[in-house]
Amino acid sequence: MQYNRHKNRQFAIQILYTVEQNSTSLASAVEQVFSGKFEKSDEAIAFANYTMLKLEEIDNLIETHLTNYHLSRLNSVDRAILRLATAEMLENKTPDGIIINEALELTREFSDTGDNKAVRFNNSVLDAIKTDLRK
């Protein structure tokens, strides 16, 4: 089945979250996320795989652009969203504005409590990363 890019990003976030929360392999996380409920998405798996392959570089980029904060203090959902968006910016196949808007939408869906603090925080981090990568 073909999913739209938003749904693929949702799945990728779930895969990345599962890897971290369960201290499991990417393959195991994929099996858990798609266990009987959904047909596997090659695009979501590719998003998550690319993110995991570049994880050290991604985490360094995020950490560099956190002000008075550390990556380890972020909740796992926001960490997964920031990692996926940063990976997409590194890959440079999709315009940064689309990547950031999609990340903010995912933040609203999965992390924000209605006060928009998580959205503003993730937006400022991703905007700083974008500026750094495109200079």
pLDDT band at 2 (very low <50, low <70, confident <90, very high): confident
Assign domain 5-133 to its CATH superfamily. Answer: NusB-like (1.10.940.10)
What tens digit of pLDDT does each residue of 70-89 get? 999 999 999 999 999 999 99
SS (H, E, C) the chain: CCCCHHHHHHHHHHHHHHHHHHCCCHHHHHHHHCCCCCCCCHHHHHHHHHHHHCHHHHHHHHHHCCCCCCHHHCCHHHHHHHHHHHHHHHHCCCCHHHHHHHHHHHHHHHCCCCCCHHHHHHHHHHHHHHHHHCC
Would you kindly state where each structural domain of the chain is located, as residue ranges? 5-133
Average pLDDT of the residues in 8-24:
96
